[in-house]
Structure 1
Amino acid sequence: MSELRYPSTRGQAPAATLSEAIAAGLAPDGGLYVPERLPSIQSAAFDPDGDLAATATTLLAPFFAGDPLGDALPAICAEAFTFEAPLHPLARPDASLLELFHGPTAAFKDFGARFLAACLRRLRAPDARPLTILVATSGDTGAAVGAAFHRQPGVRVAILYPDGRVSPRQAHQLGCFGDNVHALRVAGSFDDCQRMVRAALNDSRLQAHVPLSSANSISLGRLLPQMAYYAHAALQVQRAHGVPLDLIVPTGNLGNATAAVWTRAIGLPIGRIMLACNANATLPEFFAGAAYRPRAAVPTLANAMDVGAPSNFERIRWTCRGDAALREAVTAASVDDQVIRTTLLAHASAHGELLCPHTATAMHLLDREPVHTQGHWAVVATAHPAKFEQVLEPLLGRAVPVPPTLAGMLARASRAEPLAADPVALAAWLAR
């Protein structure tokens, strides 16, 4: 296999190797790294008895071919994919729940964060200057990155989150690591946090003094491994039912959706891709035919999706080579808070299905669909419901069981520093 190069979506920076793209996070021109072409992989290439790590190794091999990280890919996958992403049957016969919350921080971000940490650990020279990993989070990304990089030598992590706009348990997770992981509660929105991170990564003078990289889904090291659980689930459904897997993906920043689109594009048996959004309607309006119009995010019950200017829109638009093709590739719909509450209560009462608010947006879209005869639906469950007890427990009138790993984090002390929603304030913090 020939080595892939990774240009920027904005076309004003030299194409990078995969290792260079992963190490940098963001391209020098402010764009996002993308593969110059998507490889083609057939279902027969995968071991039918392989686990998720084996599927990831086969899937990602063409992306890593010829790169310095290529020989280490099996070991990287073995380190990152130590827990499964099971398909759990739902009450209706044509659908399953793709559970992505069995990692250490009970959210789908664990897969990508651990993979990125394994890559960067191998790319860092023993005598390299300390590296600061910047991450903006709307709830779950920060904890996953904190867990993946906690106590990693030569690495400092700065987690920016919108103060008061994440759940109490999410906020506790973000500040519970200590050591080399720092939580910064920003007086603003997630979009403010994202803007501050991008400004720092684009600040060459700051980078000369404080080497930086990103752990958001703008990083290829986060995005590529997220393809693995879609491939693994699609192969399972194909072998069991002989039909493609149709996906309903809760989305805010579009990283998880981009991973699904790439997985289908390289040849895995995925059919329709529907994006479930909350009341932040930037994406549903665009996919309905309106011009792309980023705007300030509004807070909702599905807080990790409170994004008004999704950073991966640039990447998915580049991948599809234009707006018309992008609108052909996926559909999107908004779900408001009242419908989220109704869906959470209905599925818990009727079927004993406990969902997080984000997963409920996707489940509502499934509820609107007639029973499937030509495929099989997977509702993507992005986080464990116990992370949102302040939403679920008043609705259900009972406690939601807490998984052991989450309980361990909640038992630790937690601390976060206040920070103004200003790139200058972040630069000053980083340089201290």
Structure 2
Amino acid sequence: MIFYSTNTSSTPATLKKATLEGLAPDGGLYVPSEIPSFSPEELELLQDAPFTDIAFAIAKKYTGGEIPHERLSSLIDECFNFKTPLVELDDTTFVEELFQGPTLAFKDYGARFLARMTGYFAEEDDRLITILVATSGDTGSAVAYGFQGIPNTRVVLLYPSGKVSRLQEQQLTTAGGNVTALEVNGDFDDCQRLVKQAFMDAGLRSKLTLTSANSINISRLIPQSFYYAWASVRLSSRFDGRKPVFCVPSGNYGNLTAGVLARKMGFPISHFIAASNANDSVTRYLEEGRYEPRPTVRTLSTAMDVGNPSNFARLLYMFRNDFRSMGREISGYSVSDPETIETIREVYDRFGYIMDPHTAVGFRALETWRQETPDHADSPSVVLSTAHPAKFLESIREALGRDISVPDRLQTVLDKQKISVRINADYHDLSDFLSKLDS
């Protein structure tokens, strides 16, 4: 398959080239030249298939002949060696728990797949790949752990100082080995800007083979479509062909973009709800048709604190810059911090289920959408749960008035010593650090 840049002025790329470049040379994001489709017959065969079989069926359509099918199947089995539960809250409301992986966050799906794809391509070329990543929380830890033990790779993480939870910071600063954490005096948008500048720096790229593990990388986006596909075929079968609605906690909009990709491939999805916090640039676009990003606002759902989301460029490309067309498939809602805390409490009181702040934003947006569209109030609906609640102990304590237990693998991380390198939100600081990596 061939991939094009959303800016349309770069040379088309193979999956290997798109993966190892991360960002296209013209500054755009790679998108498939043609979104592959699944016929009704193919979907029927996948109805009772395990997660890894559905993942393989999708992945091989994007990889074409670039990776032998036997090797690809093996990589997928290695990536997704954990469960993806669909928890039923009531007859029509489900939570898809995407936090069962190594770092207890949904980013494990994309990061583990990308790490193995990058490792395969690096091994093929016998070269060292430097993975440069901006993170607002869970991406960094997922990438750090995803790339552990992957030959010919090293990871440099940029995260905003004081703007991620303590547990998130501990995860991304204690991986060690081939992983370095840069603590940036700024916000996530600053981190993202610095990464983009590095990719546009021809002098730096002549010295290092740089790629990204953010959701701007097409090989991190593709695997995020797997869990939409898996849940949609199961629920549509259970509900006699009725297509489920997916509510997506949204920050950088890679997760939602992957869902749109799954729908365009033919998987049975009826509608999306993009749930944002106070950083509501896309929500306002869906309402008004004008995209006016604002400075990032800090909230309780920290991983969604993105004022100018990168993947919005892919959404615009997929919908041909037509906000009405986008609005027919996606409804946007913004949820405040007080509403987030209230929702955590209400969900626990109603269902005995504990949600992290991001999932609570999603649930609240779904409830609002149901109130505003009563004809769809009984539609089967899925809230994507993006992180384990133990990663946000302060918010859970505020909402429920008590602590919850911390899984052993998180407690172990809390006991480790943080190791990071401080830099300013100035590109000179980043380029200077990267230039000295091999000296």
**Which bin holds the TM-score, normalised by the shorter protein?**
over 0.9
- Give the structure 1 partner of residue 60 of structure 2: 61
- Give the structure 1 partner of residue 214 of structure 2: 216
Identity %: 39
Moved more, 126-135 or 149-158: 126-135
- Give the structure 2 partner of residue 140 of structure 1: 138
Aligned runs of 1:40-119 on 2, under 5 Å? 40-45=37-42, 46-68=45-67, 72-90=71-89, 92-119=90-117
How far apart in 2 are the matches of 1:360 and 1:322?
30
Does 2:261 match 1:262?
yes
Given that 1:177 and 1:414 are in contact with CA atoms closer than 8 Å, whether structure 2 keeps it comes out as no
User: Matched residue of 2:382: which SS?
Assistant: strand
How far apart in 2 are the matches of 1:298 and 1:375?
33
- Give the structure 2 partner of residue 30 of structure 1: 27
How far apart in 2 are the matches of 1:126 and 1:374?
51
Given that 1:19 and 1:68 are in contact with CA atoms closer than 8 Å, whether structure 2 keeps it comes out as no
Does 2:2 match 1:5?
yes
Moved more, 122-131 or 232-241: 122-131
- Give the structure 1 partner of residue 385 of structure 2: 381
1:275 shift after superposition = 0.4
Letter of the aligned partner of 2:103 in structure 1?
T
Letter of the aligned partner of 1:340 in structure 2?
T
How far apart in 2 are the matches of 1:125 and 1:65?
19
- Give the structure 1 partner of residue 394 of structure 2: 390
- Give the structure 2 partner of residue 244 of structure 1: 243
- Give the structure 2 partner of residue 347 of structure 1: 347
1:180 shift after superposition = 1.1
- In the superposition, the TM-score normalised over structure 2's length comes to 0.94
How far apart in 1 are the matches of 2:342 and 2:414?
28
- Give the structure 2 partner of residue 327 of structure 1: 327
Letter of the aligned partner of 2:408 in structure 1?
P
Given that 1:8 and 1:15 are in contact with CA atoms closer than 8 Å, whether structure 2 keeps it comes out as yes
1:373 shift after superposition = 6.2
Given that 2:123 and 2:151 are in contact with CA atoms closer than 8 Å, whether structure 1 keeps it comes out as no
In the comparison of the two structures, how many residue pairs are matched?
428
- Give the structure 2 partner of residue 123 of structure 1: 121
Letter of the aligned partner of 2:380 in structure 1?
H
- Give the structure 2 partner of residue 402 of structure 1: 406
What runs of 5+ residues in structure 1 fail to find an aligned partner? Answer: none
How far apart in 2 are the matches of 1:402 and 1:230?
28
How far apart in 2 are the matches of 1:14 and 1:72?
28
What runs of 5+ residues in structure 2 fail to find an aligned partner? Answer: none
1:70 shift after superposition = 5.2
Given that 2:116 and 2:150 are in contact with CA atoms closer than 8 Å, whether structure 1 keeps it comes out as no
How far apart in 1 are the matches of 2:349 and 2:11?
55
1:336 shift after superposition = 0.7
How far apart in 2 are the matches of 1:407 and 1:197?
31
Query: In structure 2, which of residues 162, 167, 170 is the aligned counterpart of residue 169 of structure 1?
Result: 167
Does 2:296 match 1:292?
no
User: Matched residue of 1:355: which SS?
Assistant: coil
1:84 shift after superposition = 1.9
Moved more, 347-356 or 42-51: 42-51
- In the superposition, the TM-score normalised over structure 1's length comes to 0.96
Question: 1:255-305: per-residue Cα shift (whole Å, max 9, x none)?
Answer: 000000110111000011000000112011100024101221010001100
1:240 shift after superposition = 1.4
- Give the structure 1 partner of residue 433 of structure 2: 429
